[in-house]
Structure 1
């Protein structure tokens, strides 16, 4: 049985209270916040000397790399032009200047050591939904839309008295827009789906209106519906924003808006290096699969990693011949994942019967759970769609098959609940399947 973690939320509540009672807005709507400092926090140390040393190291890199130098100059000029940084007096009597070949002269800020921030600031509650939950809702309805906030973190101002610590008032314009803002953002990426093109345009317009009031600019609008793209391009409040059609990135996956297909980008550079445990772990970790659509492939890699641990290999010891051959064969097939295409829309509409079907199974190596949706189509046909899957590697300490089957059932129950919560399907019928007689008893 898994341990239950007891969470102390007193710090989260205090952090949220600080924001509620101290934040304000500028005349143009931009938010001003204070840092959530802990009570009686220890005074931060002086990192000026360290900052100067790091800056001089950067300057030496720029002398050797003209491309980096130009990018740095352009970035810093934009930063200053937008008012996202300010000049400050040197903490010492002399003024620190760039003495080398930099065309842009930067003034270093007297910042506290970065490692000290975790001991002086409160940690607030997690406000955004999980990445997998947002992707599930993104696939729910036919019309999908995406966008991101331009320079999101720089749109919020820090109160003047707290600026030396660093280098849920939403207007009720539309209830759906408010819900979308609270549930469809992962950091600065916005993605959701709507029942119709009309709903998508209205939602995009309302979300943009609310965020613009706080000086958060949405850009890179994209949709799998040409009518939505046309309407958004003609919308007066959005016409000056950047639009992006075709292939785009959605939370680590690739999305072809023209065909409404999700696909994966597996990029394993060819190397002649001998495989080691360190390299194997690094390359398996690059198989980013938040929805579990590649679960059979990813769990195979995790099982292989477990075998490396069981073999007692050190991080940089070359793999034995048998393990090396097995790894190279597995690795050679990974680029084939780039050919996998998965439909975005899962076929759900508000008035069409939908049910969830879950399956689980276990072996001595791993156990897994998978969820499908079953939707009825207008022509009396039925559509089954793979929604999500989860896997876990069996523990190194030998466990009986009945125990692993029970673990698989628990994993299935947890996965089903996550899907129902994420997609708002609490009232949708569901069916869970297992081939274990012990579990069914």
Structure 2
């Protein structure tokens, strides 16, 4: 991909190299005219060129242009379609779009053999994976991972491959950390296993052992046991398809957070209600962090978990294009809920989180709408009737918005009279009645 992006002539002088085929010949100067591996700007320039092609031809190839902007990771496209016809259309649009910039997609793979057959028929070349039950490895670089993620096309499942190198003695801090660094779990699907390895790193640092020294026997014993148990992860399977369809009745994100004195974590699930009423729940992603070495109270770690969940939910909702009104975050810590109910300036990273009903801390607008329908309140019916009108009238019940308070803390008021006969300036009389 890099070699398909040309560098501006005035910048090519900064990519000069010297070379000679024979020591007896004179050294010659060469200029690298394309983006070069290893330079700091190379990833940005390659991705920018790819996105610019999509932007320039978006009107001509709208489907493919959107996929380029959202579903490319460097030079790898990971996308899908609901039907075979849509898949063929995406292939043709994507190939035509990228050809405008000189980019040629290769090594197509799919769980649908009919689609693959059609692609390679158009490419006028044989399918290299024909009649092969070959899994596709998913990775970010060329480093050999101890724990890698692969896609099983025949079963359309994601699974983990474990490649444990021979263990040589002595078992040092350097070797343990080197193994931990090669655990590949980008979406946190096996976060409970990976966090154990992170805790090992913390234990090593606390002991103060040197890089090439052996840690204590109990740490080595725990590490060897953990290393052997990694092999069991090959039995882990996760369906690639989330059961989503274009006509689903409801798609929601539900996140959960928790903490202990060792670590805190957040996990997000996708809940889908189909048109037939079937409900499907799938794991989307998770994040974990080791608790600080300095002792911190459990409630504060629970708050750290809530902040971690808020970030994770926001990232996933943006990528999956799910509105905030359809996201829910859950915590069992009443102390955290009380903290989130404080003034916004004291919420830190949880600025957008609200404590509404004692169980979830996102979705205040939904809780307020439910609040209006409660029959226990003496003014609930008045509120409901007032909300049905487009323009506020004298005597209407209104909700007074306050940007410095969460919606659950906003006050209700009754419109008393117009000021100076202007309909836009109204005098409100605060209601003392509380809505429960």
Aligned-partner Cα distance in 2 for 1:125–1:31: 11
TM-score by length of 1: 0.64
Against the structure 1 CA distance between its residues 189 and 437, is the aligned structure 2 distance closer, same or farther, given a 3 Å change threshold?
same
Can you list the C-alpha shifts for 1:85-108, whole angstroms capped at 9, x where unaligned?
A: xx9xx9x9x516xxxxxxxxxx97
- In the alignment, what sits opposite 1:95? 25
Can you list the C-alpha shifts for 1:297-323, whole angstroms capped at 9, x where unaligned?
A: 001100111010000010010121111
Structure 2: unaligned runs, 5 residues or longer: 141-148, 339-436
Structure 1: unaligned runs, 5 residues or longer: 1-29, 53-86, 97-106, 130-151, 153-167
Q: CA deviation at 1:359?
A: 0.3
- In the alignment, what sits opposite 1:380? 277
- In the alignment, what sits opposite 1:239? 124
- Ranked by relative contact order (alpha carbons within 8 Å, sequence separation 6 or more), the top structure is 1
Against the structure 1 CA distance between its residues 179 and 244, is the aligned structure 2 distance closer, same or farther, given a 3 Å change threshold?
farther
**Alpha carbons 1:221, 1:244 under 8 Å: kept:** no
Against the structure 1 CA distance between its residues 409 and 31, is the aligned structure 2 distance closer, same or farther, given a 3 Å change threshold?
closer
Q: CA deviation at 1:426?
A: 2.0
TM-score by length of 2: 0.65
Find out whether 1:250 has 2:147 as its counterpart: no
Q: CA deviation at 1:172?
A: 3.7
Find out whether 1:34 has 2:8 as its counterpart: yes
- In the alignment, what sits opposite 1:55? none
- In the alignment, what sits opposite 1:264? 160
Aligned-partner Cα distance in 2 for 1:202–1:46: 43
- In the alignment, what sits opposite 1:285? 181
**Alpha carbons 1:47, 1:111 under 8 Å: kept:** yes
Decide which of 198, 208, 223 is 2:85's aligned counterpart.
198
Q: How many residues align?
A: 315
Decide which of 201, 205, 227 is 1:305's aligned counterpart.
201
Q: CA deviation at 1:376?
A: 2.1
Aligned-partner Cα distance in 1 for 2:186–2:63: 26
Q: CA deviation at 1:433?
A: 0.8
**Helix, strand or coil: the match of 1:383?**
strand
Greater C-alpha Rg: 2
Q: CA deviation at 1:414?
A: 0.3
- In the alignment, what sits opposite 2:109? 222
- In the alignment, what sits opposite 1:209? 96
Question: CA RMSD of the aligned region, Å?
Answer: 3.4
- In the alignment, what sits opposite 1:346? 242
- In the alignment, what sits opposite 1:314? 210
Aligned-partner Cα distance in 2 for 1:399–1:34: 53
Against the structure 1 CA distance between its residues 374 and 409, is the aligned structure 2 distance closer, same or farther, given a 3 Å change threshold?
same
Can you list the C-alpha shifts for 1:140-197, whole angstroms capped at 9, x where unaligned?
A: xxxxxxxxxxxx9xxxxxxxxxxxxxxx544643201111122222121111122222
